Amino acid sequence: MEELIAALRAEGMRITESRKAICEVVAATGDEHLSAADVGERACQTLGRPVDQSTVYRTLDVLETLGFLHHVHLGHGPGVYHLSEDAGHHHLVCENCGAAVDVPLTDVSPILDKVAAQHGYTVRGAHFALTGLCGDCQTA
Amino acid sequence: MEELIAALRAEGMRITESRKAICEVVAATGDEHLSAADVGERACQTLGRPVDQSTVYRTLDVLETLGFLHHVHLGHGPGVYHLSEDAGHHHLVCENCGAAVDVPLTDVSPILDKVAAQHGYTVRGAHFALTGLCGDCQTA
DNA sequence: GTCAATGCAAACTTTTTGCAACTCC
DNA sequence: GGAGTTGCAAAAAGTTTGCATTGAC
């Protein structure tokens, strides 16, 4: 959290109560995947007063631009945000129940990189999830 | 096209002018990826009168349920529809310019299946695209 | 005091839904 | 004639934007 605030300050940006609250929520995010609405809700609780959704979006956008956050799409619902990691991971989502698991990038990168290279592409990040059926939904 | 119409009829569904036009558009789709709006626009031209977007969505939904179509998400814009193929393919999309290439499923399935299996999942289809940078955008 | 950031409201995009009118079988 | 379909309009969900006011520096 201190890191996020410091980075914003280093960019010449102003540190408002709303931003502080959002940074706190984001920093406290473990490997959770929060939607913008989730972040907003928690920020409101942290701050004890309403924080506008547009402010949440704008702040998340800033943090994403600075490289602290990524947002991914796990399904048809809202996009979800999570802290950037060194390694990164793909997401495997059940089409039926929505359960999601993280897949270390190292498990899939070799092939994806190779395939992408065949088309002149460079795979970067994991903006969309891989879809399938989880164990429970297969048996059901 | 005849096949689509026949299938609808076989399901006890009614063949209207709008449906015929939409089926014609869809059947004429090579390996293009059309959004619902694209399909609607072409159907209007084919038919010479307006076809409501809701009718397009409902018809595409029927065709998808019957297994003739799939829809995928290539980026943040509208979903796109394409005819089902025996083989199927993934999509590799440039984050920068949006250029998309099809990747044969056989090129990536082995790994994806293996990784998914490690988590008890079964990968099915390719509902979301893989993202990266195309050759042009890398050099730029 | 300035200028960035906020909150509010309104626009926007894509997709879905309720419902009366229609028309295909 | 009766049920499946349509078109229209309105709603829904997620996100973005314009703008006057506020507040950080």
E-assigned strand segments in chain B? 34-35, 69-72, 80-83, 89-94, 100-104, 122-123, 130-133
Instruction: Summarize pLDDT for A66-112 with one digit per residue, the tens.
Output: 999 999 999 999 999 999 987 788 999 998 888 899 999 888 888 88
pLDDT at position A96 is: 86
Torsion of CA A31, A37, A43, A44, to 10 degrees: -150
CA distances from B76 to A90, A98, B35 (A): 18, 20, 12
C-alpha–C-alpha distance, residues B36 and A58, integer Å? 30
Per-residue pLDDT band at A63 (split at 50, 70, 90)? very high
B20 CB inside 7 Å of strand D: no
3-state class (DSSP) for residue A139: helix
CB A26 within 8 A of CB A62: no
Specify which residue's alpha carbon is closest to the C1' of nucleotide D22: A16
Calpha distance A85→B93 (Å, rounded): 23
Model confidence at A116, pLDDT cuts 50, 70, 90, reads very high
Whole-prediction pTM value?
A: 0.91
Amino acid making up residue B29: T
Q: Where are the alpha helices (DSSP H) in A66-140?
A: 105-118, 135-139
B52 beta carbon < 7 A from strand D? yes
Cβ atoms of A93 and A73 within 8 Å: the answer is: no
Distance A132 CA to C25 C1' (A): 40
Q: Would you say the C-alpha torsion A120, A126, A128, A134 has a positive or negative sign?
A: positive
Per-residue pLDDT of chain B (140 residues; tens, 9 = 90+): 889 999 999 999 999 999 999 999 999 998 899 999 999 999 999 999 999 999 999 999 999 999 999 999 999 999 999 999 877 889 999 988 888 999 998 888 888 899 999 999 998 878 999 999 999 888 87
Instruction: For tokens 């050099």, name the residue.
Output: B139
H or E element in which residue A41 lies: helix A36-47
Strand C nucleotides within 7 Å of a protein CB: 4-10, 13-18, 23-25
Mean per-residue pLDDT of chain A? 93
User: Which member of B120, B121, B138 has the closest CB to residue A122?
Assistant: B138
Identify the three-state secondary structure at position A81: strand
CA–CA gap between residue A42 and residue A81 (Å, rounded): 14
